[in-house]
Amino acid sequence: MLSPQKILGAWVSEAEQLLASAPAANEGCGPVWRDVVSMAKEYFLASMSLLDKGFLFPACALLRIAAELTLKFRWCIEAPGVGGDTKEVRLMRWKEKSVHEWINILRTCEESDSPGEGASEWCLRRSALEKLHEQITQGEMPHVRELCDQLAEGTGTEPWGGARVYLGLFRAYNPAVHVDVVLLELKPAEGRPGTPSSAEQRARWAYRDLLLCAHMLRAGVYLYCGRRLDGVRSEFNTTMDGLGFHRFA
C-alpha cells in the first residue's frame, strides 16, 4: 500500500491530466477548473507536509481551506440545475460572491490606509471590481452549508450527506483557522497518548480527510469530463480500507 502522500499526489495529478486532455480544456470553464485543481493540489500537499512534520493545527487550517475550495468546485459541477442554472452559471455565481467579498476587503484597505498613493491604488482596484460586479447578474453562490445541502440533493453520484460534509470537512477545522484562547487551553491535552483527542488520532483524521478531499476533487473532474465514477469510487473504498481509515462512500 502506498503512503497517503503518494496516493493523494497520484489522484490529483490524474485529475490535472484529465482536465488538460478534455475536449473543452481551453474553453468555457475548463481553464478555471484547471486553476482550481492546481491550487487545491498545493494546499493538499502543503497540509500533508505539515502533518508529516508534526504541525497539526497549521495543517488543519490549510485542510479547512482546501475543503472549502473542493466543496465549491463540486457544487459548480453537480448541484441540481434549476431554471438554466448550468455549470457556467454556477461558476459566475461563485465569481460574483468572490468579487463582492473582494470589494469589501479593498474598501477596508482603502479606509485604513493613509491618504495618498496607497489609498488611490486601493480605490482604483475597488472601482474596477465594482464595474465587474455590475456585469454579473446571476446572484451570489449560497453559503457553504446550503451549498452542501444542495449537493446532497443532486444527482446522487456520491452517497455522502451535505450536513455530514459540512460538519466533517468545514466546521470541524474552523478552530484551526480562527485560533482563540479556548483552543490554546485545549491544546496541552493533545499530548496525552491513547485518548480520543490525542494529537496522533487527530493527525490520522486529518490524513483521512485530505484523502477524502482529493477523492472529491478527482470525482468532480471525472463528472466534468463525462466519465463514470465506478472505478474511482471502488479505488477510494479499497484505499481507505487498506489504510485503516473509516469508509466514506
What integer pLDDT is reported at residue 89 of this predicted model?
79
Q: What is the C-alpha to C-alpha distance for residues 222 and 11, in angstroms, rounded to an integer?
A: 11
Q: Are residues 131 and 193 in the same domain?
A: no
Q: Cell numbers at residue 97, please?
A: 460572491
Whether residues 39 and 139 fall in one domain:
no
Last residue of a domain, one of 143, 165, 191: 143
The predicted pLDDT at position 133 comes to: 57
Q: What are the tens digits of pLDDT across the range 25-47? A: 667 788 889 999 999 999 999 99
pLDDT at residue 73 greater than cutoff 60? yes
pLDDT in the model for residue 150? 77
Identify whether 149 is part of a domain: no
Is 87 in the same domain as 68? no
Determine the pLDDT at residue 176.
87
Residues 91 and 202 in one domain: no
Q: Specify whether 172 is located in the same domain as 232.
A: yes
In a domain, 130, yes or no: yes
DSSP state of 170: I
What letter represents residue 5's amino acid? Q
Looking at the fold, whether 58 and 98 belong to one and the same domain comes out as: no
Whether residue 91 is contained in a domain is answered as yes
Are 13 and 71 in a shared domain? yes
Q: Which of 92, 223, 71 is nearest to 149 (CA)?
A: 71
**Residue with C-alpha cell 473582494?**
102
Predicted model pTM: 0.80
User: What pLDDT is stored for residue 247 in this prediction?
Assistant: 53
The verdict on residue 41 lying in a domain is yes
CB 183 within 8 A of CB 175: yes
- What are phi and psi for residue 55, nearest 5 degrees? -90, 80
Q: What is residue 202's predicted lDDT score, i.e. its pLDDT? A: 84
pLDDT at residue 189 greater than cutoff 80: no
Half-sphere exposure of 123 (CA within 13 A, CB side): 9
CB 68 within 8 A of CB 144: yes
Q: Is the same domain home to 75 and 171?
A: yes
**H or E element in which residue 191 lies:** none
Give the total number of structural domains in the chain: 2
The parent domain of residue 139 ranges over 83-143
190 lies in some domain: yes
Q: Does residue 159 lie within any of the structural domains?
A: yes
Residues in the chain: 249
Q: Which amino acid makes up residue 192?
A: R
Closest CA to 220 of 42, 75, 120, 29: 75
Distance of alpha carbon 212 from alpha carbon 172, whole angstroms: 14
Specify whether 103 is located in the same domain as 205. no
Instruction: Give the containing element (helix H, strand E) for 247.
Output: none
Query: Is residue 232 in some structural domain?
Result: yes
Q: Is the residue at 249 inside a domain? A: no
Higher pLDDT, 81 or 229: 229
User: The C-alpha cell of 84 is what?
Assistant: 438554466
In SS3 terms, 198-214 reads as CHHHHHHHHHHHHHHHH
* Same-domain status, 72 and 181: yes
- Give residue 12's pLDDT: 94
Residue 69 shares a structural domain with residue 92: no
* pLDDT-above-70 percentage for the chain: 71
66 touches 44 (CB < 8 A) = yes
pLDDT tens track for 216-236: 999 989 988 888 888 998 899
Q: Which residue type occupies 82?
A: V
Write out pLDDT tens, residues 85-143: 778 878 878 877 777 777 777 777 666 665 555 556 656 666 666 655 565 666 777 88
Residues 206 and 172 placed together within one structural domain of the fold: yes
